[in-house]
Amino acid sequence: MSDENPNQKPTLLIVDDASENLAVLIDLLMPVYRIRVANSGQRALDVANTLPKPDLILLDVMMPEMDGYQVLTHLRQNPKTADIPVIFVTAMESSDDEALGLDLGAADYLTKPIRPAIVLSRIRSQLELKNTREQLLAQNSKLEAEVELRAKQLQTVRDISIRALASIAETRDNETGKHIIRTQAYVRVLCDHLIEQGIYADELTSKKSDIITKAAPLHDIGKVGIPDHILLKPGRLNDEELVIMRTHAKIGADALWRAIQTEEDHSGLGFLFVAMDIAHYHHEKWDGSGYPEGLKEYNIPLPARLMALADVYDALINRRVYKKEFSLEQTLAIIKDGRGSHFDPQIVDAFFVRQTEFQEIAERYAETLH
């Protein structure tokens, strides 16, 4: 009901330019309802927009200046009054007049002279319908909120699970989960810049950016298949060891593909396909000299090209068991030198525009060395 007190009588707005008609309806309805009145169409619109908001309007059709049909049209066009049920009360008995009123959105149509029992019954029915609609809307809103909350919870669980899974590989590589967090954040920064500039607009949308960013932590998941004596070797790898180390890209992609193959319906698995591309191709190079497939330029999936720069930047700027960290100047020089050879030129350009954010991310999630 329109009043804040749920026990308050429903409010009716009676609209009629004839005072004798208003008096008849007021006498009939006041014992049951709270009554507001208006003696013109414009006055009716003004009253309908003030508190207490009418729960139902009894509207005369034949009025000077603005008739009932015009009033109803204005009521329906205003979001604040569009949901108020309107019952036409008129002396006209033409079926065409009734059809016009119903087509404009009237809830019911009563003819004069009024019959008290019918008027009370029709009003009660419309108020019950209105109450039922409001209850259904409230229930639907509550259900939608619950579904949205559950979806967010499931998304959070998925994101945490992905990070936990990715951390297994990183931990074996003497790295911490902070590498995952940093590279994921770098990828997000690159995606944001490319989207803002309209670069790769056909393939990079906000939705795709979210998918790429959430898939990024799985880039090195294949390292779980690399033997410890190679993965944990403190010095440089020999040629034979390097060949084995490089298999981690395909190992990771194959593992994700096996997970995809267990599902008959792939329509909801776009995230895993992106993760598979990142794992498989993030060591490819723009000039075709990378591994494992030697892909070149745009044949390398965009998510992998983004990951390539993010991964290399983080490897350069941070200490590893086999090397010391590079200075920022050295890191920037290496990435600049890799433009058009190692890295997609437009991604390198995006990096240099946003490199301050890369530095902030690196500092915020810096490794704790013991």
CATH number assigned to the domain comprising residue 93 = 3.40.50.2300
Q: Among positive and negative, which fits the CA dihedral 365, 366, 367, 370?
A: negative
Query: 233 or 126: which carries more pLDDT confidence?
Result: 126
208 and 326 share a domain?
A: yes
305-363 pLDDT, tens digit per residue, is: 999 999 999 999 987 766 688 999 999 999 999 999 999 999 999 999 999 999 999 99
The listed range with the strongest mean pLDDT (87-91, 92-96, 160-164, 267-271) is 87-91
pTM: 0.60
Q: What digits encode the pLDDT tens for the residues 50-102?
A: 999 999 999 999 898 899 999 999 999 999 999 999 999 887 766 666 677 77
Is residue 2, in this structure, part of any structural domain at all? no
C-alpha distances (whole Å) from 148 to each of 143, 153, 160, 267 are 8, 9, 18, 21
CATH (domain of 322): 1.10.3210.10
What's the number of domains the chain is made of?
2
Question: Is residue 274 a contact partner of residue 215, using CB atoms and an 8 Å limit?
Answer: yes
The CA-CA-CA angle for residues 350, 354, 275, to 5°, reads: 65
User: d(Cα 300, Cα 67) in Å, to the nearest integer?
Assistant: 68
- What is the domain range of residue 345? 173-364
Q: Is the peptide bond before 234 cis (omega within 30 degrees of 0)?
A: no
pLDDT tens per residue across span 167-210: 566 655 555 558 888 999 999 999 999 999 999 999 999 999 99
CA distance 343 to 192: 18
Q: How far apart are the first and last CA of the chain?
A: 66
**Same domain assignment for residues 122 and 194:** no
Average pLDDT over residues 126-134: 92
Amino acid making up residue 209:
S
> Is the domain of 186 the same as that of 113?
no
- Looking at the domain assignment, is residue 97 inside a domain? yes
Q: Are residues 209 and 339 in the same domain?
A: yes
Pair (38, 123) in one structural domain? yes
Establish if 162 belongs to a structural domain.
Answer: no
Give the model's confidence band at 112: pLDDT under 50 very low, under 70 low, under 90 confident, else very high. confident
* Residue 92 is assigned to a structural domain of this protein: yes
> Considering only CA atoms, which of 57, 49, 38 is closest in space to residue 105?
57
96 and 187 in a single domain? The answer is no
Instruction: Tell whether 155 is covered by a domain.
Output: no
- Domain assignment present for residue 166? The answer is no
pLDDT of residue 172: 56
Cβ atoms of 205 and 328 closer than 8 Å = no
